[in-house]
Amino acid sequence: MITITKLDHVVLRCRDFDAMLSFYRDLLGCPLERSEPDLGLYQLRAGDALIDLVPVNSQLGQEGGRAPDRDAHNVDHICVRVSPFDGQAILDWLDRQGIGHGGIERRNGAEGFGPSIYIDDPDGNRLELKGPAE
């Protein structure tokens, strides 16, 4: 039997590596932990998990087929738990950064229903910023 205890990592193929790196590292605060440029693998720390960025023109990226875009995503969305979660402060910060969002919605997650905000990264991957369960 297999028991999954947490998200380990997510791999995102990206068209514009510099924009994606800036979004996840500089805007969302995920430090670059490891890189293998010859392979085309860049790992950013997101709490206990990793977000791997793989440029589509790299060795690894070419294995995945055509490049993702706003109509052909690699994933539906990635959900990351945000703590502390001050919804209005997060919305204000997103607005100042010029990042579109749909406001705060009540959605279910691993810990139950609670507030969340959807945003898109530069390659159109949907990211859910999840608050605590009710």
**What CATH number is associated with residue 40?**
3.10.180.10
- Does residue 4 sit within a domain? no
Residue carrying the six token digits 């023109």: 57
Taking the CB of residue 58, how many other CB atoms lie within 10 A of it? 20
Q: What is the pLDDT of residues 35-69, one digit of tens each?
A: 999 999 999 999 989 999 999 888 877 777 777 77
- Does residue 1 sit within a domain? no
Taking the CB of residue 125, how many other CB atoms lie within 10 A of it? 23
Residues in the chain: 134
- Does residue 2 sit within a domain? no
pLDDT-derived band at 76 (thresholds 50, 70, 90) equals low
- Does residue 91 sit within a domain? yes
| Full domain range(s) for residue 38 | 9-130
pTM over 0.85: no
CB 23, CB 121: distance < 8 Å: yes
Taking the CB of residue 82, how many other CB atoms lie within 10 A of it? 19
- Does residue 112 sit within a domain? yes
Number of domains the chain is built from:
1
- Does residue 3 sit within a domain? no
